[in-house]
Amino acid sequence: MDKNLIIPNHIAIIMDGNGRWAKERGKIRLEGHRAGAASLEKILRYAGEIGVKYLTVYAFSTENWKRPQKEVNGLMDLFGKYLDKEKKNLKKQGVKLVVTGEKENISPKLLKKIEDTQKFLEDCEKITFNIAFNYGGRREIVSAVNKILSENETKKIEKITEEEFSKYMYRPEIPDPELVIRTSGEFRISNFLLWEIAYSEFYITDVFWPDFGENELDKAILSFNKRDRRYGGLNVK
Ligand code: FPP
């Protein structure tokens, strides 16, 4: 990694292509997800090493419940096993764990495991690892609206600013991502972080997630460094 490059503070990743990766190899889809989990371990470690402060990954969307029960169960199981296997490594790497999304339909056993792992890692501060799990961008916005309504049952709200609204999102303490990466060549946002990506740069690669290694992250960061970020204004050079 070139020392002169700007490292994004927050990178968000849509880890797509596990199924196609598996199919190409004559394996079942779950094998693709397992390989995806291995890829995630590598990328999280590397992101911490190069100075990324927040890494958000889309691991299970509110729409993923529509997949066959076997695959849904497999993904739930994989998440639990990932936490068991990685807990100590995450601590060594200084990883604080955040899990963002709805708790409904997640088994109490998995919720307990998540909570225990978060407690175990609560003092870590090198990098915040945010797993979007049972997450939907529209659901997050609606949940913010509902929080505002329930907090203000008795008084009429006249107006709200963007800044005030942001405080009702799931994770107001996490800054917006500067860079969003999507693997496997799809040009879609798939209900990911709709509010938070207003000014994010996008990087889309044809590489399937299980094949996305450190050099692929380098390429994404290099591309990010070539962007002219204007936030709707003009850059006068
Ligand atoms: C999208 O690929 C991927 C997912 C829906 C699951 C992502 C999960 C992992 C990478 C496993 C690791 C997660 C944790 C939390 C340990 P796809 O199945 O839609 O691929 P396809 O489009 O090729 O079918």
CA of 211 to the centre of ligand 1 (A): 13
pLDDT, average across residues 132-145: 98
Beta strands 179-182 and 10-14 are parallel
pLDDT, average across residues 167-174: 97
Residue of 13, 16, 20, 70 with the most ligand 1 atoms within 8 Å of its CB, for mutation: 16
What lines the ligand 1 site, CB under 6 Å? Answer: 15-20, 33, 36-37, 40, 59, 64, 75, 78-79, 82, 131, 184, 209
Closest CA to 175 of 69, 53, 81: 53
Between 165 and 231, the higher pLDDT residue: 165
Contacts 24+ apart (CB under 8 A), 203-206: 203/179, 205/181
- At residue 152, the pLDDT reads 82
Between 2 and 15, the higher pLDDT residue: 15
Q: What percent of the chain has pLDDT over 90?
A: 91
Cα 175 to chain centroid distance, Å, stands at 13
133 to each of 44, 121, 156, how far by Cα in Å? 17, 18, 34
| Residue identifier of the C-alpha nearest atom 10 of ligand 1 | 36
Helix, strand, or coil (residue 121): coil
| Residue identifier of the C-alpha nearest atom 5 of ligand 1 | 60
> How far is 83 from 120, CA to CA, in rounded Å?
11
In tens, the pLDDT along 86-102 reads 999 999 999 999 999 99
In tens, the pLDDT along 204-221 reads 999 999 999 999 999 999
- At residue 176, the pLDDT reads 97
Q: Report the predicted TM-score, pTM, of the whole model to 2 decimal places.
A: 0.95
In tens, the pLDDT along 35-87 reads 999 999 999 999 999 999 999 999 999 999 999 999 999 999 999 999 999 99
Domains of the chain: 10-136+176-225 (3.40.1180.10)
pLDDT, average across residues 140-147: 97
pLDDT, average across residues 193-208: 97
Q: Residue 144 pLDDT > 90, yes or no?
A: yes
Provide the mean pLDDT of the chain. Answer: 96
Q: Residue 153 pLDDT > 90, yes or no?
A: no
Q: Residue 175 pLDDT > 90, yes or no?
A: yes
Q: What is the dihedral of CA 12, 37, 172, 141, to 10 degrees?
A: 80
Q: Residue 19 pLDDT > 90, yes or no?
A: yes
- At residue 87, the pLDDT reads 97
> How far is 4 from 78, CA to CA, in rounded Å?
38
Confidence tier at 29 by pLDDT (50, 70, 90):
very high
- At residue 233, the pLDDT reads 84
**Is 31 in contact with 195 (CB distance < 8 Å)?**
no
Active site amino acids: 16, 64
The residue whose two tokens read 């020392």 is 3
**Is 203 in contact with 11 (CB distance < 8 Å)?**
no
Closest CA to 64 of 8, 109, 102: 102
Confidence tier at 237 by pLDDT (50, 70, 90):
low
Helix (H), strand (E), coil (C) string for 141-180: HHHHHHHHHHHCCCCCCCCCCHHHHHCCCCCCCCCCCCEE
- At residue 214, the pLDDT reads 98
